[in-house]
Amino acid sequence: MSSDQPFVLRWGIISTGAIAAKFVSDVLIDPRTRAVGDVVHKVAVIGSRDAAKAKEFVNKFGRGDRSIKAYGTYEEVYADKDVDAVYIGTPHTHHYQNSKDAILAKKHVLCEKPVTSNATELKSLMSLAKENGVFFMEAMWTRFQPLACAFKRVLEDGRLGPPVSLRADLSDDLDIENLPTSHRILDPKLGGGALLDLGPYPMVWAIMTMYEHPDNKGEEPGHIAASMLKTPITGVDATTTFVLTFNRTLKAQAILSCSITLPKTRPGANIRFRNGNIIIDAPIYKPGAFTVEYFDKLGSGNVETSETKEFSYIGGGWHFQADEVARCIRDGKLESSEWGHDKSLLEMKVFDEVRRQGGYKFPDGVEQVLG
């Protein structure tokens, strides 16, 4: 193959749930429709706990590709020689075991958010991935969308000055009164509740804005304050608010919230800098636009200029993270420089602490590795 041929990444898919369908649909879109010419994706294998579901998934989402294999166990996916990377779309509390099995089979892994149930599980996977020489990343798709890349460029040009305060919320009224208690959103055995499902999204904006800020020097927040409101249905958190104070070198505060009993709020995020603001549309997992406001002079609050940047593309937005995985694997990297292990680890440490303060303990046996 000549070097100007795109790199082909062959995926094995674990689970036939809602997000696996979205991921597969996106990676099967011709990458040239998003101006990507250096990588392409091949879905090689679908794995389900039920062979009939896997076959049905291939028929429904495989775009007529008759070479896609359908398996009735996940183990067959890990063992398949035609698979380079495994995408894991199972419920949160299965991510650790599924990732571990894939890594031990020497497959690269892209695992849905939240990457594990707790920080200790994640640390164990990070070590295992390094020992086995495979790439490992949490599927933090928002970070790879064109809007997030443009947002980072605005932060990096420095005109806004340092960030001081950020508010970000991801809420969605999931009609929990009418969901079965076995649904992954309600069942504590599946890590149910707002924090683990929706909390990664306010976190990603805080991480991009504050944790990654050069003045922060890679410090974790020095203080975390959290409160959870539980649903009486199963006791998982329905609404959670947590405040991260970056008080070590950067002096900034992120006020983050999520809810499964409220509709989305507008805007999704509001970030205040010494010299202006950034306002991000809802929903913050895939905003369509953001507005940058610049003050006439430092700290005045008078908006002199403002610019709104809008984004659209073909597909749901899950393919950009897949392109990142393909490029990293092609280049022999074991982690992404945009969403590396340290960022997922910070997320999981924060979630552990928020659950501790909120009194949300998983049932015994859910966490596979305890700290």
Ligand X SMILES: NC(=O)C1=CN([C@@H]2O[C@H](COP(=O)(O)OP(=O)(O)OC[C@H]3O[C@@H](n4cnc5c(N)ncnc54)[C@H](OP(=O)(O)O)[C@@H]3O)[C@@H](O)[C@H]2O)C=CC1
Residues engaged in binding ligand X (CB under 6 A): 15-19, 48-50, 53, 89-92, 94, 112-113, 139, 141, 184, 197, 285
Please report, as residue ranges, which positions from 191 to 210 form the binding site for ligand LJPVP2WV (by CB under 6 A). 197
From the list ligand X, ligand LJPVP2WV, none, partner contacted by residue 139 (C-beta under 5 to 8 A by kind): ligand X
15's contact among ligand LJPVP2WV, ligand X, none, with CB below 5 to 8 A by partner kind, is ligand X
Among ligand LJPVP2WV, ligand X, none, the one that 172 touches (CB under a kind-dependent 5 to 8 A) is ligand LJPVP2WV
Q: Is 138 in the site for ligand LJPVP2WV (CB under 6 A)?
A: no
CA distances from 292 to 210, 212, 304, 329, 331 (A): 17, 19, 11, 35, 35
Binding to ligand LJPVP2WV by residue 237, rule CB under 6 A?
no
Binding residues for ligand LJPVP2WV, rule CB under 6 A, total 3
Q: Please provide residue 74's backbone torsions phi and psi, each rounded to the nearest 5 degrees.
A: -75, -30
Q: Does residue 169 belong to the site contacting ligand LJPVP2WV (CB under 6 A)?
A: no
Cβ-contact 109, 208 below 8 angstroms: no
Min. distance of Cβ 370 from ligand LJPVP2WV in angstroms?
25
69 vs 355, which CB is nearer to ligand LJPVP2WV? 355
Is residue 281 a contact point for ligand LJPVP2WV (CB under 6 A)?
no
Residue 45 DSSP one-character state: E
Give the angle 32-281-198 at the CA atoms, nearest 5°. 90
**Interaction of residue 101 with ligand LJPVP2WV, rule CB under 6 A:** no
Buried b (16+ CB within 10 A) or exposed e, 124-149: bbbebbeebebbbbbbbbbbbbebbe
- Binding-site partner at residue 90 among ligand LJPVP2WV, ligand X, none, CB < 5 to 8 Å by type: ligand X
Residue pair 112/196 in contact by the 8 Å Cβ criterion: no
Q: How far apart are CA 28 and CA 315, in angstroms?
A: 10
Query: Rounded to whole angstroms, how far apart are CA atoms 127 and 123?
Result: 6
Give 230's Cβ-side CA count (13 Å radius): 14
Partner interacting with residue 117 (select from ligand X, ligand LJPVP2WV, none; CB below 5-8 Å by kind): none
Q: CB 191 → ligand LJPVP2WV: shortest distance, Å?
A: 11
Q: Is 172 in the site for ligand LJPVP2WV (CB under 6 A)?
A: yes
Task: Yes or no: say if 298 and 3 are a contact pair by the CB < 8 Å rule.
Answer: no
* Binds ligand LJPVP2WV by CB under 6 A, chosen from 205, 285, 290, 295: 285
Alpha carbon of 8 to those of 39, 84, 182: distances in Å?
Answer: 6, 10, 38
Alpha helix ranges (H) inside 172-289:
194-198, 200-206
Q: Which of ligand X, ligand LJPVP2WV, none does 135 bind, CB closer than 5 to 8 A by kind?
A: none
Residue 286 Cβ, how far from ligand LJPVP2WV at the closest point, in Å? 8
What are the percentages of helix, strand and coil residues in the chain, rounded to 5? 35, 25, 40
Q: For ligand LJPVP2WV, which is the closer residue by CB, 246 or 285?
A: 285
Query: What is the C-alpha separation between 131 and 38, in angstroms, rounded?
Result: 28
Residues that bind ligand LJPVP2WV (CB under 6 A): 172, 197, 285
